[in-house]
């Protein structure tokens, strides 16, 4: 089923991909560095409301994937190359730059910026590729 020429299967798969990439990114790849740079103790991590965090993350990933799908639909559902580049561009320009501005004013570390912004660049590139695959 499609609405506004968007593949709902691609939206769902892209949102799930956010979980997969996030699990690797904030798990074995950068967990300790992220935790240190974010200033979170083991106790704070352990006492987190994980169902709320994961559920909210999935809903937000669905919204992001839907908007990316909508943006790509204005190109007439482009193929893999263009969809991947559009995802990369969105990850770099509005998302990573916005995080950068916030982190400058919050005096967050450059390391935390690269971890957090890097995740969004990677996931939007992956999401774009998923939409291109389903085009």
pLDDT, tens digit, 9 for 90 and up, residues 121-130: 999 999 999 9
- Count CA atoms closer than 13 A to 104's CA, side-chain side: 6
Query: Residue 26: is its pLDDT beyond 90?
Result: yes
For the segment 12-32, the average pLDDT, to the nearest whole number, is: 96
Question: Where does the pLDDT of residue 52 fall: very low under 50, low under 70, confident under 90, or very high at 90 and above?
Answer: very high
Instruction: Report the alpha-carbon distance of residue 24 to residue 98 in Å, rounded.
Output: 23
Q: Work out the mean pLDDT of the chain and round it to a whole number.
A: 94
**Is the confidence at residue 100, as pLDDT, over 90?**
yes
Q: Rg of the chain's alpha carbons, rounded to an integer?
A: 16
Model confidence, pTM: 0.92
**Helix or strand or coil: residue 77?**
coil
């Amino acid at each position: 089923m499609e609405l506004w020429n968007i593949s709902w299967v691609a939206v769902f798969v892209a949102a799930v991909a956010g979980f997969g990439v996030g699990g690797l990114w904030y798990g074995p790849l950068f967990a300790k560095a992220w935790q240190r740079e974010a200033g979170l103790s083991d106790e704070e991590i352990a006492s987190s409301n994980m169902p709320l965090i994961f559920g909210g993350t999935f809903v937000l990933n669905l919204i992001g994937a839907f908007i990316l799908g909508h943006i790509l639909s204005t190109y007439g559902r482009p193929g893999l190359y263009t969809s991947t580049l559009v995802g990369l561009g969105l990850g770099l320009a509005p998302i990573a730059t916005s995080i950068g501005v916030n982190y400058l004013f919050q005096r967050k570390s450059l390391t935390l910026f690269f971890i957090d912004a890097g995740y969004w660049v990677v996931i939007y590139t992956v999401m774009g590729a998923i939409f291109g695959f389903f085009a």
